Chain A
Amino acid sequence: GAVVSQHPSRVICKSGTSVKIECRSLDFQATTMFWYRQFPKQSLMLMATSNEGSKATYEQGVEKDKFLINHASLTLSTLTVTSAHPEDSSFYICSAEMALSSYNEQFFGPGTRLTVL
């Protein structure tokens, strides 16, 4: 099956620093990738849609300057949390879209736990 990886799996950083999270599709090419945020015991909230070679589309309420998304290749998208603060602590999940015969399916990464001190 299609595999999506994320790196790192966990990161702890100091307030005010920036953190980069990588999302890779290991065995397929993904024109579109998605970034989600999951709070404890809550659902996944879509943050942005990332298209290779173009600017990401952010959901309402998501700060573009805070969460920088780059999709430079068909197998890699990155999310950079800039000037992180404790309220940015969360579980970040990416997914990569694969075109199947009848529809495009999303395959999800294992997530990255960000803790901002």
Chain B
Amino acid sequence: KAGVTQTPRYLIKTRGQQVTLSCSPISGHRSVSWYQQTPGQGLQFLFEYFSETQRNKGNFPGRFSGRQFSNSRSEMNVSTLELGDSALYLCASSLASGVAYEQYFGPGTRLTVT
């Protein structure tokens, strides 16, 4: 089986712009979670989608949003980018939500905001 894929792998944006990141889960997986990784704040949970519904949300401003499609692919969007949004964004997929299924991480998207 193919692993979790994230596109693009690298992205450079300007402050004030918006950006959309994509995550394709492992085939058959219905849960996708997003994390932000920065040197200062570490790994922080953004949100989780399961069967096209947001299951859980971390403590991030409303500029961060996401969605999941019927094929389980997920996108996250950040509007009005700030310098502090520069980070590695990781997504993880799992068969289901809230039970003891392993999560598999993608390689991440490195976002740089200038």
* A-B complex is real: no
Residues of A within 8 A of B (CB): none
